[in-house]
Structures are given as structure tokens and as C-alpha cells.
């Protein structure tokens, strides 16, 4: 995730969702080149017009060098399967596309989305069961390393479930403000500090005006 210095991942009206440098974008593509699959929430996909591709021939070669398939499996999370069928991700069949949803999705929406992607997986009645989903992705699609690119509500769910092993965070030199501006972990959150996701700083570096951090999940003691 890339965020502003005041912890936002978009402006208050969500009209601007990208404020990192070209180097930060290259960093994102480098991370994609290490993953078997890339995951994002439906709102993030629609707001950023994301296709979850490799980023071009240079990064595709890096994937192959890393012993991975030419394109990462793409995973979209939509609890009600309400993702717009006109989204860019459906128009660019660069790699397998899977939609994770729940029993809240109507039969009509399921049918419509199934026609556009490789698999629609219903995992959970009301809330998405990520333990089940991740086991399925490993078993059927050989996903061992999954890169999640947000948004905040999806991140929050993964943090609370203890499913995030590593976090790459870029801090950009801009402040957006706004009480309604999204952060890297929106949603339910932790009511008590003892329930917060705990990490340890593995590395930090400065590239011009941006800071790049890598955190790893703190081992349980």
C-alpha cells in the first residue's frame, strides 16, 4: 500500500487514488513479480480501473526469472458479487481471473460474472471465509504467495484474521486530510490494542521524498 503522510490512500471523495511516484509504481510491479496471485477488492478495481497485470515485458521477464507463470492469477473480492461487468479487468484476459464472493450474491449476479471470469467461488454465507478461500487458491490454482493491493476494508479483514505475513508500505510526501478519506485498514478494526495486528520493522529506505518500509508479522510469544 502507498499512503499519504497523514495515512490516507485516497482523497476524501476518492477522486484521487494514486499519488505515489513512478518509482513507487515500479515497486508495485516488482512485488507483483514475486507473487503467484494478486488480489484486490471490487471497489478498488473499479475506482482505479486496475487490470492486475504484470506491468509490461520487463516485469514479465522478472516473473519468469523468479520461476513463476508469465501472469499472476488475479483475484477480485466482492461480498455481493456486485462488481461492474464493464470493469477493465474483465476486458483484458491476461491471466486467470477469480472472483471471491458470499451467499449474499444473487443468482443473477453470479451468472453474469461467471460468464466473464474463470471461476466464481462462494466462500461463506454472509462474510467471506478467507481461510477456505486461501486453501482453495492453493489447492486449485497453486497460489503460495498472494499479494493483496487493498482497499482498506479488505485489508482490515485480512489483518483481523491474522492472514498478513508481510506488509510493504510507501509513505508519500502529501497530506490529504478528510475524516472520510480511506486508510489502509478501514472496516471493523480492532476495539482494543491487544487485538491489533502487530508487526516488526524489517527494512526502511528513502528514495527521494518517499519512504519505503517492509514489516513482518510479529511472532506470537
For position 16, what pLDDT does the model report? 80
| Pairwise CA distance, residues 131 & 163, whole Å | 8
**Percent residues over pLDDT 70 in the chain:** 100
Question: Cell match 475524516: residue?
Answer: 179
For position 221, what pLDDT does the model report? 64
Average pLDDT score over the chain: 95
Helix ranges (H only) for 21-168 are: 22-32, 42-48, 57-65, 107-114, 130-141, 152-160
Question: pLDDT tens digit string along 146-160?
Answer: 999 999 999 999 999
Tell me: pLDDT of 93 over 90: no
Tell me: pLDDT of 171 over 80: yes
Average pLDDT over residues 17-42: 96
Phi and psi, residue 110, nearest 5°: -60, -45
Question: Cell match 487514488: residue?
Answer: 17
Tell me: pLDDT of 187 over 70: yes
| Pairwise CA distance, residues 181 & 90, whole Å | 28
Q: What pLDDT band is residue 94 in, cutting at 50, 70 and 90?
A: confident
pTM equals: 0.94
What 8-state DSSP symbol labels residue 105? S
Buried b / exposed e across 185-208, counting CB within 10 Å, b at 16+?
bbeeeeeeeeeebebeeeeeeeee
Amino acid at each position: 500500500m502507498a499512503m499519504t503522510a497523514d495515512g490516507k490512500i485516497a482523497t476524501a471523495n476518492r477522486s484521487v487514488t494514486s499519488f505515489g511516484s513512478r518509482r513507487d509504481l515500479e515497486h508495485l510491479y516488482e512485488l507483483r513479480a514475486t507473487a503467484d496471485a494478486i488480489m484486490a477488492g471490487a471497489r478498488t478495481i473499479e475506482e482505479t480501473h486496475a487490470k492486475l497485470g504484470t506491468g509490461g515485458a520487463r516485469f514479465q521477464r522478472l516473473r519468469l526469472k523468479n520461476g513463476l507463470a508469465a501472469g499472476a492469477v488475479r483475484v477480485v473480492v466482492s461480498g455481493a458479487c456486485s462488481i461492474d461487468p464493464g470493469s477493465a479487468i474483465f476486458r483484458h484476459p491476461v491471466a486467470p481471473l477469480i472472483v471471491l464472493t458470499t451467499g449474499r450474491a444473487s443468482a443473477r449476479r453470479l451468472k453474469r460474472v461467471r460468464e466473464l471470469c474463470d471461476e466464481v467461488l462462494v466462500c461463506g454465507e454472509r462474510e467471506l471465509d478467507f481461510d477456505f478461500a486461501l486453501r482453495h487458491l492453493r489447492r486449485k490454482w497453486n497460489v503460495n504467495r498472494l499479494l493483496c493491493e487493498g482497499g482498506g476494508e479488505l485489508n482490515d479483514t485480512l489483518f483481523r484474521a491474522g492472514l498478513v505475513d508481510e506488509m510493504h508500505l510507501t509513505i508519500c510526501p502529501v497530506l490529504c486530510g478528510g475524516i472520510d478519506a480511506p486508510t489502509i485498514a478501514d472496516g471493523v478494526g480492532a476495539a482494543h490494542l491487544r487485538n491489533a495486528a502487530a508487526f516488526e520493522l524489517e527494512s526502511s529506505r528513502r528514495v527521494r521524498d518517499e519512504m519505503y518500509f517492509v514489516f513482518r508479522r510479529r511472532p506470537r510469544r
